[in-house]
Amino acid sequence: MSFANAVVARAEGERVGLVPCAVGGTAIKEWARGEELYESMVARSKESVNKSGGRIKALLWYQGESDASTDHDAEAYQQNMEAFISNVREDLELPSLPIIQVALASGDKYKEKVREAQLGINLQNVVCVDAKGLHLKEDHLHLTTEAQVKLGHMLAEAYLKHFVGSD
């Protein structure tokens, strides 16, 4: 919500609708084309456009902690994420869809390898917001409420800086 509120407050005339599809504890391979999570996300996104008459203007992506548990998954992250981006753009028929990805703030043994992959993606209209340093809850995995609000503002700033007015 802090993302939507920040965009509405700063971008005159912008209407913001959110299509939440997050599922905690999932690996990027679970979001591959043909998998239930991916297909549900695409279907919900298309349905939101059909029902609202709006347009999809960006995809916000914060995922990867589960990929930091094994070297194999961390090593495959960038290739899997780039395939995900390509597939989403193709399936939503939005070849230049802006993607704002969040680089991990927490994770397991191979967190830095996943962060490198996230920060290293070099595709058109893909930017990365770095969550490193945001405050975590006592579980050392999830962001505090205050950190979530700050991250929402960081995502809004990235969206406004890189994509508003670029239609």
Q: Concatenated DSSP letters for the chain? A: -HHHHHHHHHSTT----------TT--GGGGSTTSHHHHHHHHHHHHHHHHH------EEE---GGGGSSHHHHHHHHHHHHHHHHHHHHHTT-TT--EEEEEPS--STTHHHHHHHHHH---TTEEEEE-TTS-B-TTSSSBPHHHHHHHHHHHHHHHHHHTTT--
C-alpha dihedral sign at 33, 34, 38, 44: positive
CATH 3.40.50.1110 fits 2-10+19-164, yes or no: yes
**Cα separation, 54 vs 17, whole angstroms:** 8
The angle at the Cα of 82, spanning 80 to 86, to the nearest 5 degrees, equals: 115
pTM above 0.85, yes or no: yes
Residue 166 confidence (pLDDT):
52
Residue 60 confidence (pLDDT):
97
**Cα separation, 121 vs 119, whole angstroms:** 6
- For residue 102, what are its two tokens? 């969040």
CA distances from 82 to 31, 107, 118, 131, 134 (A): 12, 20, 10, 20, 25
Q: Give the start-to-end residue ranges of the domains of the chain.
A: 2-10+19-164
**Cα separation, 121 vs 96, whole angstroms:** 15
Ranges in the chain, pLDDT < 70: 165-167
**Cα separation, 10 vs 41, whole angstroms:** 28
Average pLDDT, the chain: 94
